[in-house]
Amino acid sequence: MWDCELYDYTDHVLLLTTRKHPSVIVKLQKDPKKQFVADETANEAAIYKMLRRNTATKGVVPEYHGISVHLGVAMACIEKELDDFEDLGLAKVSVKLRQSAVHAIETLSKAGVLHNDIELRNIVKSRSDPECAKIIDFGRASLSQDKKR
């Protein structure tokens, strides 16, 4: 029906693409009984929605396409980017790309977003400009009380 392909996975989610929309990642909750996964997916969607309205953050996060809950399973859709820093190996990440990652984190901070899970696997190369980094996975993110405008 959906013609999905497995792109990647974690302990709690599957990351899928479809042949019809290969540039989109569908983040699908594996076990509907794990409420914390649904909560993190909802939180991630809320952060992406907030960031979508902020022009300063457009280049530092993937484009967000939406969230759905079907048969008790949470799904979020975001634009697929390139490899994460963990897969690349930090030694192979250029200085310019590292600086871009720092800039992305600073941009999110200025927008009032605390990622709360910055790891190499959550920093990816941008599809549109492979020398620019984007931050992904906002399931544990929160809003700062000292948001800079």
What does the pLDDT read at residue 64?
Answer: 96
CA distances from 60 to 10, 126, 148 (A): 23, 8, 17
Task: Tell me the pTM.
Answer: 0.91
Ranges of residues in the chain whose predicted pLDDT is under 50: 149
What does the pLDDT read at residue 136?
Answer: 97
Specify the DSSP class assigned to residue 63: P
What does the pLDDT read at residue 147?
Answer: 53
What does the pLDDT read at residue 149?
Answer: 47
